[in-house]
Structure 1
Amino acid sequence: MSQLNKTRYRWRRGILLRVLPVLMILLFAGIVKGQVYMHDSLAAYLEQATRNNPTVQAKFNEYLAALEKVPQAGGLPDPEFSFGVFVKPMELLGGNQVADFQLMQMFPWFGTLHSARDEASLMAKAKFESFRNAKQELFFDVRKAWLELYLNQARISVTQKNLELLKAIERIALIRFSSSTPGASELGTNQMGSSSDLISLYRIQIEMGDLENRLADWKTQQTVLTATFNSLLNRTSGTPVSLPDTLIPEIPGGSFLAIRDSIWSNNTMLSMLAAEKQAYDERIRMSKRMSYPMFGLGIDYMLINPRAGNTSMMNGKDMIMPMGKITLPIYRGKYSALRKEAEFMSLATVNQISAMQNSLTVDYHNVLKMQNDATRRIRLYSRQSDLAQKTLNLMIVEFSVSGTGLDELLKIEQQLLDYELLKISAIVENNIAIAGLDRLMASAGGAQTE
């Protein structure tokens, strides 16, 4: 072996011995992915949001207020009490009347109060369904905000790992650069190698600067997303949020045909509109009964003093007289208008139900497409990420030994970063789609984590 070949052999052997520890760390990090499993806290956050969110609390208080209308609607009119005092006693056969007292109770037509109570109860039910809908919207918003928070945190974590990878590659480039001191017999060749290694080092540092900038942007975004999530729970903006290390793609809780049927039967907006429709139908029946006469029952008590010289056996005896009263609803226009108003409102609610069903159908297909697309991308990016990781491991070995292939190395490193981020984004999008299905079916659901 010539002296030149021996020198080159020792030079490459020295680089390999210095690079080998870094190389082993990179390969081990690419193959073994340690995970820290943590408890899923999303269910606790949903419960906390239900208790503390002011919008949901407002809807619940509206429901309680609507319940208080039921006894109001079903109550009888207040009794009427009237009295009169004679300044000068009125002479009667049985004495002198000095005062008159009347008590009267009015009664609506038979069934009117029952219809009024039913209408108020159904309106209260509609308010309750509105409260449930607000709670389902809150559940969806909390799950979506939580998933977006996880996505951004995962971007930070993946970017930090790739930044560490670039730092390790930078150490390899530094080792190669520091080992490329030219000897007397190969000064020109080694100077060219040293210049090439320095260029590689600069390019790696440029790539690291870009990643550090993206990392800073995502950390700033994490603060905004945390404040958004905490606002849904009515907490201070800086309250820490517990997030899992990994997220499992959720799957629908049944066949899509069963899900569609569940939407028609359980959706809170449809239930609210159905209750309103029943309430307006009851108002139609009540308006018909209101056009019938009201009647009253009462008593008249006449206070009579005895009159001197009156020999009648009734002299000075008070009089009690039962009384009856009836209204004459001869002005029919207002009752007809009241009935037509209820009929038009009932018809409008039918139209709203039809429009809501159409909207839910579109939402169902959009969410279904979103979930199918996300599932397909999860499979694709998982496969692409594995291939990119294997390619990167091989190229790191090649670069550490020969110093060539930096362009492809940086390119595949960027592809690996993109595939990992796209995979996580697809998982989050899939779970948001499942949350959308749960919202349509009025189901709380929950994210699955490892």
Structure 2
Amino acid sequence: MKDLKIKYLSLFTLCFTLFTIPLATAQNIESYVSEALENNPTIKRFEWKHKLMQEKTNEVDNIPNTEFGLGYFVSKPETRVGAQDFKVSVKQMFPWFGTITSRENYANAVAEVSYEDIAIAQRKLVSDVHQSYYSLYTLKEQNKIIDENLALLKVYETMALASVESGKATAVQVLRIQMRENELIALKQELLETYQSEKTAFSKLLNRNSSDGITVVDTLKIPKQEHVVLDSLNIHPELIKFDKLYASVEKSELLNQKNKAPMLGIGLDYISVTERPNMTLADNGKDILMPMVTLSIPIFNKKYSSKTKQNQLAQKEIVSQKRERQNKLETLLSKAVHQKTSAKKSYDLQLQNIIKTKNAEEILIKKYETENIDFYEVLELQQLQLKFQMNQIAALKKYFMAETVINYLSK
């Protein structure tokens, strides 16, 4: 029996060592978050979009094109001082006072909205990186649990074979243990494939071409002290974006009022006059120079009235959208806080159950020294232990997933 205990400990130690050696250089999650924020193409896309919207502010700082005209008199009109040959004109219109400033303010307001898109994308990326990281950790721990249970079944198999030789057990009991081993081996293979798939997804969040070199920490623990959750979500960028959208509509309406104002224009006409021959006249052949001032008045301004109505409706829609989104975020936050508390309780409960199965395991081992073991009972105990261990790591994952949602909403 002493040899069996030594073999059991050796198998477990070997399994644990082989699994944890690669984790010696495990990378901290915060370094992955920094890498993702720096390299992720989604963040880059929103940053370029924001720069584009900022550049548009330079586009609106302009006045209408200067108009040039040239006309040639095919049938030359005669005047007292000569015939008119051709006409050259130039005209420049100017928007009403403050219109260009209103355009700039509106363009800046739209650019501010696009800036919040960056903040939202960054928060979502951080959340995605954390969730993928915790999934990797969960899969790693599940594989570790499978290895531990396989080592335990190997010990039970050795004990069962010894019992068969001594006539205390049947070969059927050995076969049941071996079938259980095969089930765990198949489950382990499935978990390994899922782990590789999750590593690929995680590497794409970092914008890496390969998942090589991605590792997770050896141990995650539920902290004893919880961070304070904010009661208000008004500082969340998803809600701030609605405020900035509302402000941009206000700027749009100010611009609309400016566009409704008249436009002023100045111009100059030059007409070339041919000198009348064989005549002596004052100003004979004198060219004509005519300065002009124009005023463009939007008499039919129905489109501006419609634009005002559209802006009013848009503001009401934004207020409703913000309220709707705030309700959803508050609901998500409330659920996440509840899930986090529930996960912590479940984790503690599973830990107690695991301790009890370990105690029961020790009792079975000691029982083997003096009497027969019911290997059906052994397999049932092993299945319970696996169940509690899997439930524990699931509760740990649930806790940190809920923590990720809380951080997305409240930090």
TM-score bracket for the superposition, by shorter chain length = 0.7 to 0.9
1:427 equivalent in alignment to 2:396: yes
Contact 2:269 2:291 in 1 (8 A): yes
Contact 2:81 2:285 in 1 (8 A): yes
Of 348-357 and 132-141, more deviation after overlay is shown by 132-141
Give TM-score, length-normalised by structure 2.
0.87
2:361 maps to which of 378, 384, 392:
392
Counterpart residue type for residue 384 of structure 1: N
Query: Which residue pairs with 1:22 in the alignment?
Result: 7
Contact 1:399 1:405 in 2 (8 A): no
Query: Which residue pairs with 1:215 in the alignment?
Result: 188
2:158 maps to which of 171, 174, 182:
171
Counterpart residue type for residue 413 of structure 1: Q
Contact 1:70 1:120 in 2 (8 A): yes
Aligned-partner SS, 1:81: strand
Of 68-77 and 244-253, more deviation after overlay is shown by 244-253
Shift of residue 428, structure 1, vs aligned partner: 1.5
1:264 equivalent in alignment to 2:234: yes
Query: Which residue pairs with 1:11 in the alignment?
Result: none
List per-residue Cα deviations over 1:293-321 (Å, max 9, x = no partner).
11112233344454445656645555543
2:290 maps to which of 321, 344, 350:
321
Contact 2:11 2:151 in 1 (8 A): no
Of 293-302 and 44-53, more deviation after overlay is shown by 44-53
Of 294-303 and 158-167, more deviation after overlay is shown by 294-303
Write out the 4+ residue segments of structure 1 that deviate beyond 6 Å after TM superposition: 26-35
Partners of 2:125 and 2:20 in 1: how far apart?
34
Q: 1:41 to 1:248 in 2, by over 3 A?
A: same
Partners of 2:376 and 2:395 in 1: how far apart?
28
RMSD: 3.1
Contact 1:226 1:240 in 2 (8 A): no
Residue pairs, 1:75-224, within 5 angstroms:
75-87=62-74, 90-92=77-79, 96-178=83-165, 180=166, 191=167, 193=168, 196=169, 198-224=171-197
Contact 1:260 1:364 in 2 (8 A): no
Counterpart residue type for residue 60 of structure 2: A
List per-residue Cα deviations over 1:41-68 (Å, max 9, x = no partner).
4334333433444433333333233223
Shift of residue 204, structure 1, vs aligned partner: 2.2
Counterpart residue type for residue 143 of structure 1: H
Aligned-partner SS, 1:103: strand
Contact 1:55 1:134 in 2 (8 A): yes
Partners of 1:283 and 1:332 in 2: how far apart?
16
Contact 2:271 2:287 in 1 (8 A): yes
Partners of 2:28 and 2:272 in 1: how far apart?
77
Give TM-score, length-normalised by structure 1.
0.80
List per-residue Cα deviations over 1:176-223 (Å, max 9, x = no partner).
444x2xxxxxxxxxx4x2xx1544433322321221122122122223
Counterpart residue type for residue 294 of structure 2: K
Partners of 1:419 and 1:37 in 2: how far apart?
27
Query: Which residue pairs with 2:380 in the alignment?
Result: 411
Partners of 2:280 and 2:157 in 1: how far apart?
131
Partners of 1:389 and 1:65 in 2: how far apart?
62
Aligned-partner SS, 2:243: helix
1:45 equivalent in alignment to 2:32: yes
Counterpart residue type for residue 216 of structure 1: Q
Aligned residues: 409
Whichever of the two has the greater Rg, that structure is 1
Shift of residue 338, structure 1, vs aligned partner: 1.3
List per-residue Cα deviations over 1:314-363 (Å, max 9, x = no partner).
45555543321111211121111111111111111111111111111111
Residue pairs, 1:245-256, within 5 angstroms:
245-249=218-222, 254-256=227-229
Partners of 1:24 and 1:135 in 2: how far apart?
47
Query: Which residue pairs with 1:232 in the alignment?
Result: 205
Contact 2:20 2:218 in 1 (8 A): no
Aligned-partner SS, 1:330: coil
List per-residue Cα deviations over 1:225-254 (Å, max 9, x = no partner).
233333434444754532222223358874
Q: 1:31 to 1:290 in 2, by over 3 A?
A: closer
Counterpart residue type for residue 383 of structure 1: Q
Counterpart residue type for residue 248 of structure 2: A
Q: 1:391 to 1:318 in 2, by over 3 A?
A: farther
Gaps of 5+ in 2: none
Residue pairs, 1:307-318, within 5 angstroms:
307-309=276-278, 311=280, 314-315=283-284, 318=287
List per-residue Cα deviations over 1:133-183 (Å, max 9, x = no partner).
2232222222212211221121111101210121122223334444x2xxx
List per-residue Cα deviations over 1:15-45 (Å, max 9, x = no partner).
x354353355479899999885544343343
Contact 1:170 1:201 in 2 (8 A): yes
